[in-house]
Amino acid sequence: MKQHRYIRLIAIAAFILTSTTALAASETSETSSESSPGVIVKVKKAIEHGAKATAHGIERGANATARGIKRGATATSNAAHKAAKKLTGSSDSSKAPSSSED
């Protein structure tokens, strides 16, 4: 299914993003020897927090996409089923509505 392909692409993108941010965090801590250790720790934690939030957002987006695809497929299936019933003249749809005569 196509949704699995999208989920794989999103997972790969999240992995690349977290790898890049971890690399940037390690480079930042190596290059800023003049900064105080407290600032470096705070920046590193902020980057890690941002990466986790991004991964969570991507996961939620993938789940929402999958739900949307499923709902769209269900709606299409229902519409096709209704159209087929009308074309074949099923017993339920071929009944004329009874009118009440006074």
Residue-level pLDDT, tens digit, the chain, 102 residues: 566 676 777 777 777 766 665 555 555 555 555 557 788 889 989 999 998 999 899 999 999 999 999 999 999 999 999 999 988 875 554 455 555 554
pLDDT for residue 102:
45
49-64 pLDDT, tens digit per residue, is: 998 999 899 999 999 9
Those residues whose C-beta lies under 8 Å from the C-beta of residue 14, and which sit 6 or more positions away, are 54, 55, 58, 59
pLDDT for residue 30:
53
| 17 within 8 A of 54, measured Cβ to Cβ | yes
pLDDT for residue 98:
54
pLDDT for residue 34:
58
Distance of CA 17 to CAs 26, 47, 61, 70, 77, Å?
A: 14, 11, 16, 28, 38
